[in-house]
Amino acid sequence: MELTTFLFPRMKNFVNNKRIPYLEHKDSPWSILDDNNQYSLSKQIKQLDNNGINSKYRNISLDQTKGQIVIHSSAIIDDYVRIEGPAFIGKNTHIRHSAYIRSGTWISDNCVIGHCSEVKNSLFLPDSKAPHFNYVGDSILGFRVNLGAGTKISNVRNDKREILITNQYGNKINTKLKKFGALIGDCVEIGCNTVTNPGTIISPKTSIIPNSTLKGWNE
């Protein structure tokens, strides 16, 4: 089974739905995080239709130097949020006070990015949450993922080498990326203060106990 299909089975219900991005490489979903890929998150965001940012958003910092920022009119953006384009904020998503959304981030419908949480070059599929003091770097979060308070998704090896992953068959694969955090499957619950090492994969419906340190394949 393709890795994308295994980790994100709910995607089959969103075929040709422009509310989530297109994942070209089903066996290597991390390719969407690579700016050199023609279907990278950044490039797909830049191609979206944009009617401008609603004037109701005040006391927030918007930087469109590197690409457009697309915000659905129903999204809630609290005070003192910083958003750097290219970025997409979906329907009914809530970006809470003092969150930091960095370039290349696609946050789908009904998501939550919490107070002082930081997200960089990552995809949140619908109904996923990083609600309390989280860091998410170069990662894909499936449908209905919840990160416990203080969870950190690390995206760079200490030795700065390219990041390896272990797939569902136990095979090691070089992603050719030097920045890559995690692939977190649908309906995963992660306990508070957990840290994932670069290249971590968590299979769907897994529950991670608090204060865990994760690497490789987890189920």
Q: Class of the 3-218 domain?
A: mainly beta
Beta bridge partners of residue 153, listed in sequence order:
136, 196
Q: What is the pLDDT of residues 124-181, one digit of tens each?
A: 999 999 999 999 999 999 999 999 999 999 999 999 999 999 999 999 999 999 999 9
How far is 75 from 209, CA to CA, in rounded Å?
31
Alpha carbon 144 to its chain's center: 12
Cβ distance 77 to 89 under 8 Å? yes
- CB count, 10 Å around CB of 146? 18
H or E element that contains 200 = strand 200-202
How far is 198 from 181, CA to CA, in rounded Å?
5
- pLDDT at res. 94: 98
Helix, coil or strand: residue 45: helix
Residue range 48-65: mean pLDDT, rounded: 85
Q: In whole numbers, what is the pLDDT of the chain averaged over residues?
A: 95
pLDDT for 51 beyond 80: no
* Residue 15, CA distances (Å) to 20, 22, 23, 46 in order: 9, 9, 11, 20
pLDDT for 115 beyond 80: yes
How far is 46 from 201, CA to CA, in rounded Å?
28
> Is 132 annotated in the active site?
yes
- pLDDT at res. 24: 84
pLDDT for 86 beyond 80: yes
For residues 166 and 19, which has the higher predicted lDDT (pLDDT)? 166
How far is 115 from 96, CA to CA, in rounded Å?
5
Query: What residue spans define the domains of the chain?
Result: 3-218
Radius of gyration of the chain (CA): 16
Residue range 191-213: mean pLDDT, rounded: 98
How far is 68 from 122, CA to CA, in rounded Å?
16
Phi, psi (rounded to 5 degrees) for 68: -70, 155
Q: What is the DSSP code string of 1-41?
A: --HHHHH-GGGGGGTT-TTS-----TT-GGGGG-TTSTT-H
Residue range 175-190: mean pLDDT, rounded: 98
> Percent of the chain, pLDDT > 90?
88
- pLDDT at res. 17: 75
Helix, coil or strand: residue 138: coil
> Percent of the chain, pLDDT > 70?
100
How far is 108 from 111, CA to CA, in rounded Å?
6
pLDDT for 55 beyond 70: no
Residue among 25, 72, 115, 132 flagged as catalytic? 132
- pLDDT at res. 19: 84
Quote the pTM value: 0.96
Q: Tell me the pLDDT band of 4, cut-offs 50, 70 and 90.
A: very high
